[in-house]
Each structure stands twice: as structure tokens, then as C-alpha cells.
């Protein structure tokens, strides 16, 4: 019988596994690791908001209106980051705000990813006029300034957090469609796809089991980056009064509520703004690292 390889064992033990290799590339990028750490703590804060926050985000302490953070004159360690105009604890509101932002990011990315990837797969596989129709429609959506489109949609559907998320998801979805279609077109002519056709795989099987897993790398990167876009857009809509409605402690809404105190109480505007900045920055840094690690075109051999 043909020769059985004696050396495969040795290769097995020493060649790093898939995850190990991914981590090697990812950890080469220090910014990405920092981003990952911040992002992970952001998730933990969102999950354990009830435990971490010293007060309820909606409890009003009328004796402590507009109290500054503790290190400033007039501040107390009772309210570490101060209170707002109706005496609610800023720290607790920010912690609970993380929960909203995380929730928004998750839902928006899930909706736009699922629909975008499915439409992209259809465009890539079916081709012909279906593909042309889909891609032109996506071009139309992309031609609108994204926030403006979301504004219009919220105006039609009515201002609420759910509608804002829906609007943002629709605005973000064309990127997934384009990305998926491009990846599918690159994978389709490969031999393993022909091989799957040879053994009689149906179109659905080809789409989701054969081809899709090989297109995931750029989609995952895009998902990470659009997570931050979603948070940013939701904050913007909240600021304009079209997203989450007060008294919900959403960061954008908090910013808009604090508009009139900009000059008197800096912490009311600065702290939610910083929270948004740090979260978005960490996710973008992490996304860059993900791209380095997952995109084989950039890999050094």
C-alpha cells in the first residue's frame, strides 16, 4: 500500500493551531490589544451594570443638584463623577449607558449583518439582472448621507430607540452586501466550489455551507467596525432627540439633555462624550487588529 506518512505527528505538535496563529498576528498590533482590553471591560460593565452602579440611574437626589466630580471644589466622594441638573448620579448613568450602547451595537450589527450577508450571497450566486438590481439599490442607499437617511426614516417611523436602531441597520447594510458579494465572486471560481458542485451540492448548501465560511474574515472585520459606527450614529440620533428618549441614560441623549449646562457644568457634556470616544476608539483599534490577523492579503509569510 502507498506510503503512510511518518512525520505528520511531528508537524501536528509544533505547528501552531488556528487560534494561536490568529493571536500571534493580532497581538503584534499593540493598539489592537489595548482596544480589545477596553472593549472587553466595556462589555463587562454593560453586563454587570446593576451590580457596578452605586445608584439607580433614575433616582434623583434633590440635595445634590449639579454637583461637580469629587476632585473639584464642592464635589463629594458620595457622587464620584458628580450629578446632573435633577440630581441623578453621573457615574451610574454612564455605566447604564454602556448597556444601551452595547445593546444598540449588537442589535444593529445583527440585523444589518444577517440581511446584508444574505442579500450579498444572493447577488453573488444568482447574478444577471437580480444582481444588477440589488447592487444599484445598494448604490442608491450609499449615495445618501447616512445620518440624513436615518433621520428621514426616524421621522417617518417616529422617534424611539428601536426605530433608530432599525434606521441605522438599514443604512449600514449595503456595506455588508458589497463585501459579501465581492468575497463570493472571488471564491466561486475556486476548485473546491466546483468540487462541491460535482458531488451534487444544491445552491443553498453551496451558499451557506461551502462558500460562506470562506468569506467570513472580511465580514467579521466589517462587523467590528460597524459596531462603533452604530454606537456613534445612535448617539447622534439621541442627541438630536430622535433616538432613545429621556430619561433613558443613553450617552447621546445625555449629551443633548446637558446642552444648556455646557458652560456651567462641564462634566455633564464631557463625560458622556468621553465615554463615546473611548468606546468607539477601542473598537476601531480592535477592528484594525482583526483585519491584520484575518485578512490573508496583508499576512506576512
Residue 249 Cβ vs other proteins, minimum distance, rounded to whole Å: 42
Residue 209 Cβ vs other proteins, minimum distance, rounded to whole Å: 8
Residue 301 Cβ vs other proteins, minimum distance, rounded to whole Å: 8
Cβ closest to other proteins, residue 13 vs residue 77: 13
Residue 189 Cβ vs other proteins, minimum distance, rounded to whole Å: 9
Cβ closest to other proteins, residue 28 vs residue 139: 28
> What is the binding site for other proteins (CB under 8 A)?
1-8, 10-12, 14-16, 18, 21, 24-25, 28, 190-192, 194-202, 205, 210, 213-214, 300-301
Identify which of 144, 143, 160, 142 has the alpha carbon closest to the alpha carbon of residue 237.
160
Cβ closest to other proteins, residue 41 vs residue 194: 194
Task: Encode the chain in three state secondary structure.
Answer: CCCCCCCHHHHHHHCCCHHHHHHHHHHHCHHHHHHHHHHHHHHHHHHCHHHHCCCCCCCCCHHHCCCCCCCCCCCCCCCCCCECCCCCEHHHHHHHHHHHHHHHHHHHHHHHHHHHHHHHHHHHHHCHHHHHHHHHHHHHHHHCCHHHHHHHHHHHHCCCHHHHHHHHHHHHHHHHHHHHHHHHHHHCCCHHHHHHHHCCCCHHHHHHHHHHHHHHHHHHHHHHHHHHHHHHHHHHHHHCCCCCCCCCCCHHHHHHHCHHHCCCCHHHHHHHHHHHHHHHHHHHHHHHHHHHHHCHHHCCC
Residue 27 Cβ vs other proteins, minimum distance, rounded to whole Å: 9
Residue 238 Cβ vs other proteins, minimum distance, rounded to whole Å: 40
Cβ closest to other proteins, residue 74 vs residue 213: 213
Cβ closest to other proteins, residue 190 vs residue 259: 190
Cβ closest to other proteins, residue 204 vs residue 274: 204
Cβ closest to other proteins, residue 21 vs residue 59: 21
The residues that bridge with 83 in the sheet, in sequence order, are 89
The set of residues, in sequence order, having a beta carbon less than 8 Å from that of 144 and lying 6+ positions away, is 171
Residue 67 Cβ vs other proteins, minimum distance, rounded to whole Å: 52
Amino acid at each position: 500500500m502507498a506510503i503512510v506518512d511518518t512525520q505528520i505527528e511531528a508537524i501536528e505538535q509544533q505547528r501552531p493551531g488556528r487560534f494561536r496563529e490568529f493571536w500571534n498576528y493580532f497581538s503584534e498590533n499593540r493598539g489592537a490589544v489595548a482596544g480589545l482590553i477596553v472593549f472587553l471591560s466595556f462589555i463587562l460593565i454593560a453586563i454587570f451594570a446593576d451590580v457596578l452602579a452605586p445608584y439607580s440611574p433614575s433616582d434623583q437626589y434633590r440635595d445634590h443638584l449639579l454637583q461637580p466630580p469629587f476632585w473639584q471644589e464642592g464635589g463629594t466622594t458620595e457622587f464620584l463623577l458628580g450629578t446632573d441638573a435633577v440630581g441623578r448620579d453621573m457615574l451610574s448613568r454612564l455605566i447604564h449607558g454602556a448597556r444601551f450602547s452595547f445593546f444598540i451595537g449588537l442589535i444593529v450589527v445583527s440585523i444589518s449583518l444577517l440581511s446584508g450577508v444574505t442579500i450579498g450571497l444572493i447577488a453573488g450566486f444568482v447574478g444577471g439582472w437580480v444582481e444588477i438590481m440589488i447592487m444599484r439599490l445598494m448604490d442608491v442607499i450609499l449615495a445618501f448621507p447616512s445620518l440624513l437617511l436615518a433621520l428621514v426614516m426616524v421621522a417617518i417611523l417616529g422617534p424611539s430607540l428601536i426605530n433608530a436602531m432599525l434606521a441605522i441597520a438599514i443604512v449600514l447594510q449595503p456595506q455588508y452586501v458589497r463585501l459579501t458579494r465581492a468575497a463570493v465572486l472571488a471564491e466561486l471560481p475556486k476548485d473546491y466550489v466546483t468540487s462541491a458542485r460535482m458531488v451534487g451540492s444544491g445552491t443553498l448548501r453551496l451558499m451557506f455551507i461551502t462558500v460562506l465560511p470562506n468569506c467570513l474574515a472580511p465580514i467579521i472585520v466589517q462587523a467590528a467596525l460597524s459596531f462603533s459606527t452604530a454606537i456613534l450614529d445612535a448617539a447622534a440620533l439621541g442627541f438630536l432627540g430622535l433616538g432613545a428618549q429621556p430619561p433613558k441614560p443613553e450617552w447621546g441623549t445625555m449629551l443633548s439633555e446637558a446642552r444648556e449646562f455646557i458652560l456651567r457644568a462641564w462634566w455633564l457634556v464631557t463625560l458622556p462624550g468621553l465615554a463615546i470616544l473611548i468606546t468607539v476608539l477601542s473598537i476601531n483599534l480592535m477592528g484594525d487588529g482583526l483585519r491584520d490577523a484575518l485578512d490573508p492579503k496583508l499576512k506576512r509569510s
